[in-house]
Amino acid sequence: MQFSAAGALPAELAARFAQGRIPHAVLLEAPAGEARERAVRELTAAIVCTGSPRPCRACVHCRKVFAGIHPDVSVLEDDPKQRVIRVDDIRRIRSDAYIRANEAECRVFILQEAQRMNEEAQNALLKLLEEPPAGVHLLLTAPSRAAFLPTVRSRLAMLRLSGVQAVRAPDERVDALLTALASGERYALLRTSAALLADRAEGLRLLGDAKAALRDAAADKLGLENRRGAAGEDAMRALSARVTRAQVLRLTALVDETARRLGANANQQLLSAWFALEAQEILSRQ
């Protein structure tokens, strides 16, 4: 996932926004600074924008966001005097979140430097993440996701900004598939491929990640450092240790064929079972 130098949204995120599939909670992982501020404005505008493609920069919502005056955008400011974000701050957001939007169709709450939440505040936030009121979007910023409780982390869509690049965090379903491939166990393969292909549009994206992860495993086998990080390091390494290079190539071809069939409206249950059995077959032969 990349932010162009001009600050446009990553293509995949833009596509999701265009379809109205906007994550309820996003963590923008980046050091404080101008690039992050620009990304926050872009994302916020894309959420409330009524034009196309989002953010159109021309509709009244976009213009108000870029001017910093949109009434449905609330910012918990980064107050340097306040070292810790406390539970009361989060409770205030929670009670505000149930108030309807004024002008836009949804409301955006921006929580800057969210790593300053103490544990109590994070647990309060978790309740909001678990049952988000309709039309409420949370945009968190932090230098690193490391400061968040795993339960909170798992409910945030991650966007990492480094320089002008944003990298999507690995999806745990791809990790699970890789781990199943490394085990070669039929049930694990059936279960993880079913999870991967449960949703057609998302399945196509996850298969793309799986393919990138296979490429990473192939690179790892050759001792190359040039990797895309489409899956977690542990899962990728476990697979790389288990498979031959020829198997990686066959698995990659299998992922391609599965994506082609998924795109051609194949029955997802049949397809995921077929994928699992073919993968097991590949893994059973050198």
Segment interacting with Zn ion, rule: CB under 5 A, options 9-17, 41-49, 90-98, 143-151 = 41-49
Sign of CA pseudo-dihedral 31, 34, 40, 42: negative
For Zn ion, which is the closer residue by CB, 66 or 274? Answer: 66
When asked if residue 135 is in the footprint of Zn ion (CB under 5 A), the reply is no
Q: Is 51 in the site for Zn ion (CB under 5 A)?
A: yes
The window from 32-40, 57-65, 83-91, 102-110 that contacts Zn ion (CB under 5 A) reads 57-65
Rule CB under 5 A: say whether 111 interacts with Zn ion.
no
Tokens of residue 217, six digits: 């495993």
- Contact range with Zn ion by CB under 5 A, out of 45-53, 78-86, 226-234, 277-285: 45-53
Q: Are 197 and 268 in contact (CB under 8 A)?
A: yes
Residue 59 in contact with Zn ion, rule: CB under 5 A? yes
Q: Which is nearer to Zn ion, 64 or 250 (CB)?
A: 64
14 binds Zn ion (CB under 5 A): no
54-62, 127-135, 167-175, 248-256 -> range binding Zn ion (CB under 5 A):
54-62
Question: Whole-angstrom Cα distance, residue 121 to residue 132?
Answer: 16
Q: Please state the closest distance from residue 21 (CB atom) to Zn ion, in A.
A: 17
Candidates 46, 62, 197, 283; binder of Zn ion (CB under 5 A) is 62
56 binds Zn ion (CB under 5 A): yes
Give the interface with Zn ion as residue ranges (CB under 5 A).
49, 51, 55-56, 59, 62
